[in-house]
Chain A
Amino acid sequence: MEKHKVATQKIVVVGNGMVGHHYVDQLLQQNLNVEITVIGAEPRPAYDRVHLSEFFAGKKPEELALTTREFYHDNGVKAHFGDAVKQILREEKAVVTASGRRFDYDKLVLATGSYPFVPPIPGSSHDLCLTYRTIDDLGAIKHAAEGASVGVVVGGGLLGLECANAIKNLGLEAHVVEFAPGLMGVQLDEGGSKMLRRKIEALGVYIHTSTGTREIVAGDACKLRMNFGDDKHLETDMIVFSAGIRPYDQLARDCGLDVGERGGVVVDYHCRTTDSDIFAIGECASYGNFIYGLVAPGYRMAEVAVSQLTDTKSVFKGADMSTKLKLLGVDVGSIGDSHGRQEGSISYVFSDEREEIYKRINISADGKTLLGAVLVGDCDDYDTLLQYFLNGIELPASPESLILPSVAGGAPKLGPAALPLAATICSCHNVSKGSIVDAIDAGCCSLGDIKSSTKASTGCGGCSALLKSVVDYELEARGVSVDKSICEHFPYTRQEIFHLCKVNQIRTFDELLEKHGSGKGCEICKPAAASILASLWNDYVLKDKHAGLQDTNDRFLANMQKDGTYSVVPRIPGGEITPDKLIVLGQVGKKYGLYTKITGGQRVDLFGAHMSDLPAIWKELVDAGFETGHAYGKALRTVKSCVGSTWCRYGVQDSVTMAIYIENRYKGLRSPHKLKSAVSGCTRECAEAQSKDFGVIATENGWNLYLCGNGGMKPRHADLFATDIDDETLIKYIDRFLMFYVRTADRLQRTSVWLENLEGGLDYLREVIVDDKLGLCAELEEQMNAVVGTYQCEWKTTIDDPEKLKRFRQFVNAPEAKDSNVIFVEERGQLRPAKDEERLDIIAKSA
C-alpha cells in the first residue's frame, strides 16, 4: 500500500557546502511537510566555493556566503555548524555526530563534497603543506605567505593554476609542479596545454611538468625543500597540494553503502544510494562511475533528489563538463571531447603564436556535429561552440570558419534565433531558452525581470552576454520594440529626456511637454522631469513652475505618512550632533506632539506633523541651525560614519570629517532615486559602507571606494571600485560617478540595478570614471560643481517666503482648523496613529 501524506518527514542533510545548501533551498521552495536538519562540518554556513579565490582579492567570508544562520532559522531549518557526522546508523535511521549528538531521519541526504588529495610523499604532513578548498584553508595560505618569498603548487590542473595565481598575487614567486607532461590535462589537448603554459610562464609563474616529488625536507634558503625524482630540487616557503579531489565517502563505506571504483557514494539516476532512504548529491556522489567536480551538475543532483519527495520526480542523466574560465588572466575554454578521442573524429586547429591564441574543434566524421573544442587565449567563440555542441546543431559547410580569426565580416555567430528551445542558456541554474521564452510570454519585458524570475545569469555570470542577446531577440520578435518610454506622455526613456533637457536647455515641464511630449503629464513623468530639471539647473523646487510637478513629499518638503500627516527629518551630516541641537529636536518634538525615532541613517525622524505645523516646526529648526534632510526627495539622504581615528583605537583615518564633507557636498543633489552613503574609519566597517550607493572605507594609505551597494528589499554588496586613493581623487570619482548615474539611470532605478544593467558593468564604469573613456569627466565634474554651488536649504528659502507658506494651510478657508481624520493614541509614552478599531471607539466616545 502506498503511504499517504506521512506526518512530518524528518530530512537530515549532512554537509552544508554549495550543493547541500542548494538542496535545502530547493526543498524549502516546495513547501512540503518536512522538518529539515542540516549538519555542517565547517564552522560557517555554505559559501561560494567557486569564487573562493576572491577571498584573496579582499572579499570577506560574509561576502562569499550563500546563506546565513538567520535564513535557516527563519525558515524553520535546524542547522548545526562545526560538527561532523561520524556515523550513520542505518538500522535505527539515525546519525551521530563527532560531538555525540544524535539525529533521527526519515530521509538522509549526503552532501559531504570532497577533499583535496595529498599524495603520500614523505614530509607532506608538514605545517607548511597546505590545501585549497575552504575559507579556513585560504586563511592558512595567507598566514603562511606572510614573510615568505616562494610558494609552490603541486598540481597543474584548473584549481592548481587558480591557486598559483593567488600565490603570485600574494607577492610570492609562484611555481607549479605537475606530474603529467602538460597543464590542465583533463580539459586541454597537447596544443592547448602548450599555449597555456607559454602564456602563464610569460606572466612570471614557473612551470615544472613531468616532475614528481620524492620527498619534502627542511630547506636552506627557504623553509622547505622539495626533492624531485630526477635529483633536481626546489626550495620553497610553502606548498599547496592541488593534486585532485577525493570524495568524502567514509561515512557511506562504514555503513555498507556501495562506493564507486574511484570512490564516491554510488547513486542511481534518482540520486539514491543503495539504501533507498539515503541520497547522495554533489561531489561526494558517483554517478555512472564518474564524479562531477563542478557545481552545476551538483545543483542538478540536488534538484533531482528534492523531486523524489514530490509528485513530479525528475532524473539525473549526467551533465556536461564543458568549462570556460580565466586563469591568471588567460581565457581558457574546453568543450566536450576536447582531445578528439572519439572514433573517427576530425579536428581543425588554429594556432597563432604571436597573439598566443590556440583553438581546436573536433567534429564527427560526417562533418555534421561538433564533438569537442579547446580554446586558449581567446574564448569569444565559446558560447557559439557550446550551443552547437549541446544542441547538436548542424555545423556549417566549412566548420573551420567557427574558429578562424575574423578577417572580414567575422566568424558566423550562432544567433539566438538558431537555438532550439531546449538549449541551455544558463547552466548554473539550468535555464533553457524555452523557460526564458515562457518568462517573456508571462510578462517579463526586461533583462532584469528575466534574471529575477528565472535566476538565469545569477550564478557564475558566464552566460550574461548570451542571455542578453536571447532576451533582446525574443522581445524584438514580439514587436516589443522594448518600449522603454517612461509613460504615455513621452516616447522617451528618462535618460533620453535628460539629454533633451540638457541639449535644448529646457527649464520647465511645460516647455518639455510642448516640445517633446503629449497630453498633460502624470504622476510618473512630472516628478521625473522635476528631478531632471533639478539635477540640471538646481532651481528651488517650490518655484511656481515646478511646484505642481513634485510628489507630495517634495511639494511639502516632508514625508507623507499613512494618515496624511508628515514626518520631518533634519539633516545631521555624518550623524554628528551637538547636545544643544539634540535638545532642540527634543523640544520641537514635545511642543508639536511628534513621535520621535532614530533612523538607520544616523538621524532623528519626527512623525505626525500636521501639514499646517510644518512651517512653524521648520522655523524653529532652521533657527537652531538645522537644514532640510531631503528625506522626502529622490536625493542624497545620509552619509553615515563611525567615529574613526578621532576616537576609535582601530581607526586609520578621520571618517567623521570625511562623511560630513561628503554629505555637505552632495546634499540637495536630485537623482533618479534616493542615494545613501557611509564612511568607515577602518576595514572593520562599522558604518556599513558596503551596503550603500557609494561607500568609503579608510585604509592606511587613503580610502577605498565602493560603489552601487544597496540594503532594502534586494540587498547588494557594493563593488570595490578604487583602492588607496587620496581625498581629492575620492571626491573626483564620486562627483563623476554620481553625475554619470544621474544622467544615465532610469527613473527610480537605484545604483545597484543601474550597474547590473550597465553594459560592461563595473569595468566599463571604471573606464568612464577613471580612464575617461567617453571624454566626459570634465563635463560631469563641472555639472556637479554647478549643483554644489547653487545649493540652498529648501526649508530656509520656504520659511522666508510668506507666499509659499500659504500652501501649507490645511484648509484655504479655515486656516486654524486641523484635519479631524487624524487621530492619535498613546503608546510607550509617545503618540501614534489610531488603528481602525481604536478610531471608531474614539469617535463613538466623543460623539
Chain B
Amino acid sequence: MKVLKANQWQPLCAISDLVENAGICALVDGEQVAIFYLPAEIPRVYAIGNHDPIGKANVLSRGIVGDIKGELVVASPLYKQHFSLLTGKCLEDDSASVPVYEVVLDGDKVLIEV
C-alpha cells in the first residue's frame, strides 16, 4: 500500500526529451525510472521502475509499448514479458511486478512525485 503524503513534484526533464510512443530512463533518488510518452493517450506520460525483475537488468525503458486487450503495457526487451504501465504488474507472471510512479506534465516540463 502506498502511504499518502503531500505531493512533492520534482522536475525531471522537458517534453522534448521524451520519445513519442517509447520510453526513456531517469534517475530519481538513486532509483531508475522508465518514463513513457504516449501522445495519443490520456494521460500522456507514464512511469514505472526500469528494472526488469525477470531479466534482472535495467531495461524496461527500452521496451516496445502497446496494449494487450486494451491494457497499456511495455514488453521487456529481454524476454518479452508485458508489464502494465498503470499497475506495474507483469501480465504473464503474477508474482512479478515493478513499482509505479506518478508523473505529470506541467507546460513543457515533466514532473515526478517523490
Q: Which residues of A contact B (CB under 8 A)?
A: 488-489, 519-523, 525-527, 544, 547-553, 555-556, 560, 562-564, 611, 806-807, 809-814, 817, 819, 821
Q: With A521-B66, A523-B75, A544-B20 as known contacts, state yes or no: A564 contacts B57, CB within 8 Å.
A: yes
Q: With A523-B75, A807-B19, A813-B12 as known contacts, state yes or no: A819 contacts B63, CB within 8 Å.
A: no
B103 at the interface (CB under 8 A from A): no
* B26 neighbours in A (Cβ, 8 Å): 811-814
Q: Could you list 25 A-B pairs, sorted by A, with CB under 8 Å?
A: A489-B66, A489-B67, A519-B66, A519-B70, A520-B40, A520-B66, A520-B72, A521-B67, A522-B66, A522-B67, A527-B64, A547-B20, A547-B21, A548-B19, A548-B65, A549-B21, A550-B64, A552-B63, A564-B57, A807-B19, A809-B24, A811-B26, A811-B32, A813-B13, A821-B32
Q: How far is the CB of B49 from chain A (nearest CB, A)?
A: 12
* B12 neighbours in A (Cβ, 8 Å): 812-813
Q: How far is the CB of B91 from chain A (nearest CB, A)?
A: 11
Q: How far is the CB of B15 from chain A (nearest CB, A)?
A: 11
Partner of B77 from the list A544, A560, A811, A817 (CB cut-off 8 Å) is A560
Partner of B64 from the list A523, A560, A563, A611 (CB cut-off 8 Å) is A523
Partner of A806 from the list B17, B21, B22, B51 (CB cut-off 8 Å) is B17
Assembled-state Cα–Cα distance A488/B71 (Å): 12
* A812 neighbours in B (Cβ, 8 Å): 12-13, 17-18, 24-26, 35
B80 at the interface (CB under 8 A from A): yes
Interface centre among A556, A814, A817, A821 (most CB of B within 10 A): A821
B19 touches A522 (CB 8 A): no
By size class, the interface of chain B is 35 or more
B77 touches A552 (CB 8 A): yes
Assembled-state Cα–Cα distance A694/B51 (Å): 40
A523 touches B66 (CB 8 A): yes
Q: How far is the CB of B106 from chain A (nearest CB, A)?
A: 15
Given contact pairs A525-B66, A551-B77, enumerate 9 new A-B contacts (beta carbons under 8 Å). A522-B64, A548-B22, A549-B64, A555-B62, A560-B77, A811-B27, A817-B27, A819-B58, A821-B57
Assembled-state Cα–Cα distance A363/B63 (Å): 66
Assembled-state Cα–Cα distance A454/B13 (Å): 57
B98 at the interface (CB under 8 A from A): no
A564 touches B64 (CB 8 A): no
* B25 neighbours in A (Cβ, 8 Å): 810-812
* B78 neighbours in A (Cβ, 8 Å): 560, 562, 564
Nearest residue (CB) in A for B36 is A548
Q: Which residues of B contact A (CB under 8 A)?
A: 12-13, 17-22, 24-27, 32, 35, 38, 40, 51, 55, 57-59, 62-70, 72-73, 75, 77-78, 80
Assembled-state Cα–Cα distance A520/B64 (Å): 11
Nearest residue (CB) in A for B68 is A522
Interface centre among A551, A813, A814 (most CB of B within 10 A): A813
Q: With A811-B25, A811-B26, A811-B27 as known contacts, state yes or no: A564 contacts B59, CB within 8 Å.
A: yes
* B32 neighbours in A (Cβ, 8 Å): 811, 819, 821
B27 touches A552 (CB 8 A): no
* B57 neighbours in A (Cβ, 8 Å): 562-564, 821
Q: How far is the CB of B47 from chain A (nearest CB, A)?
A: 12
* A564 neighbours in B (Cβ, 8 Å): 57-59, 62, 78
Interface pairs A-B: 6 shortest CB-CB: A548-B21, A522-B66, A523-B75, A552-B77, A548-B22, A564-B57
